[in-house]
Amino acid sequence: MLGDDHPNTLRGMANIAVAYKRQGRLQDAEALEVVALEKRKRVLGDDHPDTLSSMANLACTYRHQGRLKDAEALKVVMLEKRK
């Protein structure tokens, strides 16, 4: 009803990704978080708080996957944008 790019739809995607992560479904979480992040960047902009939250969520998933350098790189970008 709202559309694929509506902020509420994107928030729902992020919430499902969190549920996947809690279930240990890290690949599924990552895939959904990447889509949500890219859509939020396009719809809301790179510096929007929701976009930055998506970055934080994806970085957390990378950390859980053992991809520490990817997690660190994303967190550095996120922190600079939040400043």
The band of 4, judged by pLDDT with boundaries at 50, 70 and 90, is: confident
**pTM (2 decimals)?**
0.89
For 6-46, the pLDDT digits (tens) are 888 999 999 999 999 999 999 999 999 999 999 999 999 99
Is residue 12 included in any domain, yes or no? yes
Range of the domain at 52: 7-82
Is residue 2 included in any domain, yes or no? no
- 48 conformational bin, left if phi > 0, alpha if psi -120 to 50, beta if neither: beta
pLDDT score of 67 more than 80: yes
Is residue 31 included in any domain, yes or no? yes
Q: Tell me, what's the pLDDT at 60?
A: 94
CATH classification of the domain holding 28: 1.25.40.10
Is residue 1 included in any domain, yes or no? no
Q: Tell me, what's the pLDDT at 2?
A: 80
Is residue 74 included in any domain, yes or no? yes
Please compute, for residue 74, the number of CA atoms within 13 A of its CA located in the half-sphere on the CB side.
21
Instruction: Round to whole Å and give the CA distance between 18 and 43.
Output: 21
Alpha carbon separation from 61 to 11, 13, 64, 76 (Å, rounded):
17, 15, 5, 15
Q: How many domains does the chain have?
A: 1
